[in-house]
Amino acid sequence: MLHKIAIVGGCGHIGLPLGIVLAENKFKTFLYDIDEASVNTVNDSILPHMEEEGEERLKEVIKSKYLLATISPKVLSDCDIVILTIGTPVDEHLNPRTADVFKVIDAILPYIKADQVLIFRSTLFPGTMSLINDYLKTKKCNASLAFCPERIVQGKGLIELVEVPQIISGFDEKSLSVCRQIFGTISKQKPVTLLPLEAELAKLFCNAWRYINFAISNQFFQISEKAGANFFKIYEAVKKDYPRMNDFARAGFASGPCLFKDTMQLSAYSQNTFFLGHSAMLINEGMPSFAIDLLKNRMGGSITGKKIAILGMAFKANNDDVRDSLAFKLRKMLEFFGAEVICHDPYVKHQEKFDFKFVDLPTALKADAAIIGAPHKDYKKVKVPKDFILIDIWGMFNSVS
């Protein structure tokens, strides 16, 4: 039984839920992170970001001493397994920046031993694991190498790590055996084994599929609006007791740190022949503009000088994560058209650090109009005045016009 595991980037959205679940299963787990504030927060049994069921479960594993966060990379040398939660970011041209991955590898190599297993988590550009394997050989590093992509929904990692089958891949039998042991222990489901390239593609396929699914609904939403029809009534009608429409997504902003990025990575890997992904990008990224067009139509064609509120700045409902939220793009576009923009979000933390104005909900509802940026459950309780202009692209009130 392997007992000591270190997670690089351990206090982040991927590393922390995994660390908690590992610790709950009696793996001695160290969360290595360069963010000292997050490390201190975790060691104080406080979640640095929202995670369902996270608060109590974090307290228990910190109390049990099976989980410890640290800023010292030396802890990596003391562990049997090192899990890296770094992924491949994209640059301003939407091309993968694999050099960033190798910078992290170089930083931790002095602490890696030959008998360890390195497990890469998160998203990697297809073929990166093979490059890493070759690179480690040139550095005379004989650690075993594996890739086990995460597929958790942000905010529900503690639940889905247990419920969802884990995909594993490796370059030798030792790495595969270790991955089967770890993920077979923490999950109720038997791990699914792929080759490393297949595992890399599998992760991108999952996120690109979801992104395209949202784009289909957003395109249908736009068609319905232009026709003067209510998309959400159609949506409910075609899904009712009709199993072939179970995967039909609701309309809304398709944003966050993964779906768009991974779709563009798949496009780059296919040498820009992934036309379906590009079409989905144009539709989803165009939703803020479409919402503003709806607003202009309701306000006589112009929003110059009008006070517009955005309700919800997180990228998804009932969450505090603002990474790559399209509500931020919406805010900038509203300002470009001359509107005064105020924002409200009951979940986003440290609002004083943003370079724009957050207000309370009563103040937001006194604006000339509002657009729902994230469909937080809190807004469902709002009694919208009959004459108040509210653009609801999510269908929270089953009407947008």
Structural domain boundaries, residue 289: 203-391
The residue from 171, 194, 217 where one domain ends is 194
Residue 272 lies in a domain: yes
Statement to judge: residues 174 and 213 lie in one domain:
no
Statement to judge: residues 94 and 150 lie in one domain:
yes
Q: What is the mean pLDDT of residues 105-132?
A: 94
Strand order in the sheet with 117-120: 67-70, 28-32, 4-8, 81-84, 117-120, 144-147, 167-170, 192-193
Residue 399 lies in a domain: no
Query: Domain with 225 in it: what CATH number?
Result: 3.40.50.720
Statement to judge: residues 188 and 295 lie in one domain:
no
Residue 135 lies in a domain: yes
pLDDT at 1 exceeding the cut of 70: no
| CB environment 131-149: b (16+ within 10 A), e (fewer) | ebbebbeeeebebbbbbbb
| Residue 400 pLDDT grade (very low, low, confident, very high; cuts 50, 70, 90) | very low
Give the HSE-up count for residue 316: Cα atoms under 13 Å, Cβ half-sphere: 16
Q: What is the mean pLDDT of residues 8-37?
A: 96
Residue 338 lies in a domain: yes
The residue from 194, 220, 243 where one domain ends is 194
Handedness of CA 133, 137, 140, 143 (dihedral sign): positive
Distance CA 337, CA 360 (A): 24
Statement to judge: residues 136 and 257 lie in one domain:
no
Q: Where are the alpha helices (DSSP H) in 44-194?
A: 54-64, 98-108, 128-138, 157-163, 173-186
pLDDT of residue 398: 65
> Could you tell me if residue 271 is left (phi over 0), alpha (psi between -120 and 50 degrees) or otherwise beta?
left
* Pair 293, 299: CB distance under 8 Å: no
Residue 400 lies in a domain: no
Statement to judge: residues 325 and 179 lie in one domain:
no
Taking CA atoms, 388 is separated from 156, 245, 360, 383, in Å, by 35, 34, 17, 10
pLDDT at 401 exceeding the cut of 50: no
Q: How does pLDDT run across 327-385, given as a tens digit for each residue?
A: 999 999 999 999 999 999 999 998 989 999 899 999 999 999 999 999 999 999 888 87
Statement to judge: residues 97 and 212 lie in one domain:
no
Distance CA 220, CA 284 (A): 12
Statement to judge: residues 178 and 267 lie in one domain:
no
Residue bearing tokens 């006070």: 307
Beta strands in 220-306 (DSSP E): none
Statement to judge: residues 317 and 376 lie in one domain:
yes
Residue 344 lies in a domain: yes
pLDDT above 70 as % of the chain = 98
Q: How does pLDDT run across 23-50, given as a tens digit for each residue?
A: 999 999 999 999 999 999 999 999 999 9
Statement to judge: residues 76 and 122 lie in one domain:
yes
Residue 401 lies in a domain: no
Residue 396 lies in a domain: no
Chain Cα centroid distance, residue 203: 13
What's the structural domain count of the chain?
A: 2
Q: How does pLDDT run across 163-186, given as a tens digit for each residue?
A: 999 999 999 999 999 999 999 999
Statement to judge: residues 368 and 221 lie in one domain:
yes
Q: How does pLDDT run across 85-98, given as a tens digit for each residue?
A: 987 777 777 777 88
Handedness of CA 96, 100, 102, 104 (dihedral sign): negative
Statement to judge: residues 72 and 172 lie in one domain:
yes
Statement to judge: residues 169 and 25 lie in one domain:
yes
pLDDT of residue 102: 92
The residue from 168, 194, 220 where one domain ends is 194
Distance CA 296, CA 62 (A): 52
| Residue 138 pLDDT grade (very low, low, confident, very high; cuts 50, 70, 90) | very high
Average pLDDT over the chain reads 94
